[in-house]
Structure 1
């Protein structure tokens, strides 16, 4: 992990040093792969929460088992892109905005906001939507009690719908900033 971060930081320093001569190469080697990685993460998380909704809304699954199945699903699937997610978060939170264009800054800020969407706090980058969902479900199970699992499952579905809408909204913002950056380079 540290080697990956150091390599990423080394690439960033190289990019800054030669940015006037190699702006297109920098975009191709740094910002475009970031967008691609983030796109994969977003797609996986969106699919994961749609799967959660499918479980919670499935009348064939007993209510008492729905929450356990969704938490198991999230605990399994959220680890798929964890190394990439951690790499991107480390890159964005350790980014020095000096010496880069306004478009680059806006793009990186949009990514930072995307990762902050779970907490609304840019100083807490390592919480995840999945972690927050799991905490909310465990909280609901604790306060609702065993006999109200159906109500808890309905609330769980409501909680799961939120991230899908958030992903869509924040992804739109990231994509807009990505396109502005790309257009500023290839104008």
Structure 2
């Protein structure tokens, strides 16, 4: 994440300003950060996950969203653009600019964001009471790390590699690893 000329805003001013921008910016506690463009593999994997979720969620109250939808994390005074997220909350269906109650968030790692996706961003995401699972997708390692919230509000890691299906218990669906990494060249 790169800073956008160290601009400082309130959340309301950020939303108004962001609506006029050609590029996307995330907002954290008054600071605005420009979103960098993604590599082709990142876009393909994000698209694969979105398409698989959309297909499996048909006929349910849940909706999958791709990178252009903002996520509001009020407890962190932040707005993010996750690669993919799913919300089953009726209030999110009414919102035009952002959702606030995701069940699942997916971040596809890149060299420039990996530490933040696993660190500060995950700290903010854990403040969302609605969030049940957080997927971190490592394209290079062909690995999906699924952090699942337990009944005690702890986060348990389920590590998926190889041919195993990625189990998303919060949505009662499974995503085959072959679907997630479809069209990605072997390294």
Q: TM-score, normalised by structure 1?
A: 0.26
Q: Please say which structure displays the higher CA radius of gyration.
A: 1
Q: TM-score, normalised by structure 2?
A: 0.26
Greater share of strand? 2
Greater share of helix? 1
